[in-house]
Amino acid sequence: MGNTSNMDATYTEQDWLQTPLGAYLLEQEQVFFDATVADLFGFNALQLGMPETDLLRNCRIPFRFKAAGSGMTSLRCDSIQLPFATNSIDLVVLPHVLEFSSNPHDTLREAERILLPEGHVVLSGFNPISLWGARRLLDRGGEYPWRGRFLTLSRLKDWLALLGFEVMGGRMGCYVPPVRTEMWIQRSEFMDRAGDRWWPMLGGVYFLVARKRVAGMRLIRPSWNGTRMAQVLMPKPTQRTECQKNNHEQ
């Protein structure tokens, strides 16, 4: 894989996403987020991080916002102090935000705070138990993305559970080694095709979908079973009809 410290040290997030390896990552991220957000509904959605990339483009939620600590975005904010009201957002998308947060647990706590009950968080993260994690151990300099603090999937699931989230699904991706050139990425693409079957937990990136649960709260939905329908469609007897019935029986 070679030593790329000198070249990568000048990369910003957006610079790195335009490299062959970054483009490969972004392609897999876009596929996952496109498929996932298309099935989630509500009124307000927030993408926090990767502002130059539209991970909500397939989302059918009408009001969509982008926020980040830097980059081309209309809203700049710290991920541990989000400028949104409590219980105001239906969907929060966190693409590789936790690895670069000063306090990833507080970032998740903020996501939980602004989410409505039954709202969703969709996130991606670099897997430390992978070839990508090994690459980070070899080069912990100031370049992106290796300067991030990669979180294990088990720790992230524990944090989500403590905050009252229920994990609804997820997957691994990016089984190709973190090589520099397009040629070696193409030569390694067979690892993506075999990864889910032969080494399912060793993908370079994981994706998770979780739903906010509130203890003691239950959504009330109409029950349209046969009995209920009969009660709705059958008019209640009035006092006059009761008198007519009694006179008829006499």
Q: Which domains does the chain have, with CATH numbers?
A: 5-224 (3.40.50.150)
**Residue 198: its pLDDT value, please?**
81
Alpha carbon dihedral 88, 71, 69, 23, in 10-degree steps, equals 90
pLDDT score of 8 more than 50: no
Q: Quick check: pTM over 0.75?
A: yes
Give the type of residue at 223. S
Q: What does the pLDDT average to over 160-179?
A: 95
Q: Tell me if 224 sits within 8 A of 153, measured CB to CB.
A: no
Quote the pLDDT of residue 193.
Answer: 85
123 in Cβ contact with 32 (< 8 Å):
no
Cβ-contact 162, 215 below 8 angstroms: no
Q: Look at residues 21, 217, 222 and name the one whose alpha carbon lies nearest to residue 126.
A: 21
Q: At what angle do helices 104-114 and 153-162 cross, to 10 degrees?
A: 40
> Looking at residues 50-70, what average pLDDT do you find?
92
- Per-residue pLDDT at 194: 84
